[in-house]
Amino acid sequence: MVHFVGAGPGAADLITIRGKELIEKADVIIYAGSLVNPKLLDYAQKGCEIHDSSRLDLDEVINIILKAEQDNKTTVRLHTGDSSIYGATREQMDILDRKGIEYDTTPGVSSFCGAAAVLNMEYTLPGISQSVIITRIDGRTGVPERESVEALSSHGATMVFFLSAGQTKRLSDRLISAGVSKDTPCALVYRATWPDEQKYVCTLEQLPQVAKEHNIDRQALIIVGQAVAQSGYELSKLYAPSFTTGYRKGKDVYEK
């Protein structure tokens, strides 16, 4: 049996209880060493076989799993954040399906949630944006044309860019050329929830300079949108005194 587990954004206590318990029981752990906190491996039992997948290719990862299966062992495949976001899990699962190997998935706290938390930020502010676009700039991996930075920016929604910290100049230039104001608030969050975390709030125009000044070109998220300012929003309907919900009868505050 193989358990795909989301490790969370960094801090070792941000894994789920289920994820931690699976680590505790695992015979073999394959973890994404580039961004999974090695402290999580302290939860592993004595004698657990541990592999860092940042040094392995897909075939090598699969071979470790196949060997574990032959020996009737349980494998935990530990991915950064939540494995559904840029986790490259499907390609592993398809091979496991072909081999008739069972697996399941345990979610994790994605870094885009970790980054919002370290900024005490709400992505979906009423009157500002009610959507979050999770995306990346194209690089060695292509992005479909309809999901280009330009196309997605036309929505004016809060945008979270993964895998783009090495291209802040290109990202900022392209967004501004696409019509996004150069004064749009922006956040650069490096290694959110890790002990060496760094976070900066600036404008879209300043972003490349801020990244350069602090030598940030990887392991960071870029958040772009008015929501980053965390101001100018409308109060929620959910908690408005006048608003009736399925759980609470509202009173119209303007009524005498």
Minimum Å gap between C-beta 175 and ligand SAH is 17
Among 137, 152, 159, 189, interactor with ligand SAH by CB under 6 A = 189
Tell me if 85 contacts ligand SAH by CB under 6 A. yes
Which residue in the set 23, 82, 92, 106 belongs to the binding site for ligand SAH (CB under 6 A)? 82
Q: Please, which residues have CB within 8 angstroms of residue 224's CB and are 6 or more apart in sequence? A: 153, 158, 159, 161, 175, 180, 184, 185, 186, 204
Question: Which one of 46-54, 78-86, 199-207, 232-240 is the stretch in contact with ligand SAH (CB under 6 A)?
Answer: 78-86
Using the rule CB under 6 A, which residue among 4, 10, 96, 225 binds ligand SAH?
Answer: 10
Q: Which is it for strands 220-224 and 158-162: parallel, antiparallel or unpaired? A: antiparallel
Applying CB under 6 A, among 115, 180, 216, 228 the residue interacting with ligand SAH is 115
Site for ligand SAH in 196-225 (CB under 6 A): 219-221
Closest residue by beta carbon to ligand SAH: 81
Count the residues of the shown chain that bind ligand SAH, applying the rule CB under 6 A: 24
Q: Which is nearer to ligand SAH, 20 or 136 (CB)?
A: 136
Q: Per-residue DSSP letters for the chain?
A: -EEEEE-BSS-GGGS-HHHHHHHHH-SEEEE-TTTS-GGGGGGSPTT-EEEEGGG--HHHHHHHHHHHHHTT--EEEEESB-TTTT---HHHHHHHHHHT--EEEE----HHHHHHHHTT--S--TTT-S-EEEEE--SSS---GGGSHHHHHTT--EEEEES-GGGHHHHHHHHHHTT--TT-EEEEEESTTSTT-EEEEEETTTHHHHHHHTT--SSEEEEESGGGG--SPPPPSTT-TT--BTTB----TT--
User: Closest approach of Cβ 162 to ligand SAH, in Å?
Assistant: 4
Question: CB-wise, 198 or 230, nearer to ligand SAH?
Answer: 198
**Residue 9 binds ligand SAH, judged by CB under 6 A:** yes
Q: Which of residues 232-251 bind ligand SAH (CB under 6 A)?
A: none
Q: Decide if residue 92 touches ligand SAH (CB under 6 A).
A: no
CB closer to ligand SAH, 44 vs 115: 115
Tell me: does residue 87 bind ligand SAH (CB under 6 A): yes
Joined together, the tokens standing for residue 151 give 């196309």
Could you list the residues that contact ligand SAH (CB under 6 A)? 9-10, 35, 79-82, 85-87, 110-111, 114-115, 162-163, 189, 191-194, 219-221
